[in-house]
Amino acid sequence: MAIQAYLYNSCTSCRKTDEILKESGVDYERREYFKERFTKDELRTLLEQNNLTVQDVISTRSTPYKQHDLANRDLTDDEILDLMIEDPRLLRRPIVLSGDTVIIGHNEKQLRELVANQ
């Protein structure tokens, strides 16, 4: 079961996650999703396949979340997906997937358990 890591190089949490994955020696697919952006269909499929909602992956602490005043707007998931495609900073990061395991945000304990089971 392959590990997929969706990362942003400028993100400290993403760099920590990437470092743990590299150190572990496991094979993983790495995608820098600020350089290789998601399409709307691709992001929707990723969420659906992993039983995630838009609310699971939205970064409520991000600058664009505050700029768009998303806490006080009643947007559909489709509209939020559009905003996430337009500005990937709205996605919580990193996102690590492997089989049934989904890790959103840097969680060293979960990550080490994941690589130990590979």
Q: Which domains does the chain have, with CATH numbers?
A: 3-116 (3.40.30.10)
In the numeric block, the tokens 């993983």 are attached to 28
Q: Tell me if residue 102 falls in helix, strand or coil.
A: strand
Q: What share of the chain is helix, strand, coil (3-state, %, to 5)?
A: 50, 15, 35
pLDDT at 114: 95
CA angle 42, 19, 50 (to 5 degrees): 30
Share of residues in the chain with pLDDT > 70 (%): 99
**Confidence class of residue 11 from pLDDT cuts 50, 70 and 90?**
very high
pLDDT 10s digits, 51-106: 999 999 999 999 999 999 999 999 999 999 999 999 999 999 999 999 999 999 99
- pLDDT at residue 1, as a whole number: 63
Q: Is 66 helix (H, G, I), strand (E, B) or coil?
A: helix
**Confidence at residue 101, expressed as pLDDT on a 0 to 100 scale:** 93
Residue 51: the pLDDT is: 95
What would the mean pLDDT of 37-51 be, rounded to a whole number?
A: 95
pTM, whole model, 2 decimals? 0.91
Split at pLDDT 50, 70, 90, the class of 118 is confident
> Going edge to edge, which strands form the sheet with 3-7?
28-32, 3-7, 95-98, 101-104
